[in-house]
Amino acid sequence: GGASQDPDALRHLVEHSATVGTLAERYHGQLTSALELQSLTVRDVVRPNTSPSSVAPDATAAAIKAAADRSGHLRLLVRDDDGIKGVVHARDSLRAGATVTAADLMRPVLTLDADAAVYEALHTMRETRSHLAIVTDAGQLIGVVTLTDVLARLRPAAGAPT
């Protein structure tokens, strides 16, 4: 709205106010952190990895569990030669019958653009109940980001207890 300011203009105002002594030091630090978070993008929190832990669509429940154990990740991408098809949670494979495959168990995977604001990404991940997203830059996979990664990056400046 009309009250929102350009982050650079706000940053300048905060610096000026701190310099002339009209802004208490503790507020200066908090505001500076908040402004830095405002400009944080998904690229700043992504784990660069062009081949994240994955299984093939025809992977059996046992193969999913084995891949999860081997990688240490509970959420695995489901991918084939044409790309990423979805995401499967190892927990879902535990109850699955012997003939169930990753394609049967997978859910849609969220794709985030590397230049998206972290706050937007957090909102999207919460709205879609996605704990894992793939991150692309100009359509190319550059890595994955988890809800935990995003929250960990936002939490310190939000003043939330750690």
Three-state secondary structure call for residue 77: strand
Q: How far apart are CA 39 and CA 36, in angstroms?
A: 5
The number of helices, as runs of H, and strands, as runs of E, in the chain is: 8, 7
Q: What is the pLDDT of residues 3-31, one digit of tens each?
A: 455 666 666 665 656 566 665 555 555 55
Instruction: Please tell me the least confidently modeled range out of 27-31, 74-78, 131-135, 143-147.
Output: 27-31
Average pLDDT over residues 32-60: 83
Q: Does residue 99 or residue 51 have the better pLDDT? A: 99
Q: Which residues pair with 132 in a beta bridge?
A: 146
For 14, the token pair is 């905060």
DSSP string, 103-153: HHH-B--EEEETTSBHHHHHHHHHHTT-SEEEEEETTEEEEEEEHHHHHHH
Phi/psi of residue 139, each to 5°? 85, -5
Report the alpha-carbon distance of residue 35 to residue 58 in Å, rounded.
46
108 residue type, one letter: P
pLDDT tens-place string over residues 75-121: 999 999 988 999 999 999 998 888 999 999 999 999 999 999 888 88
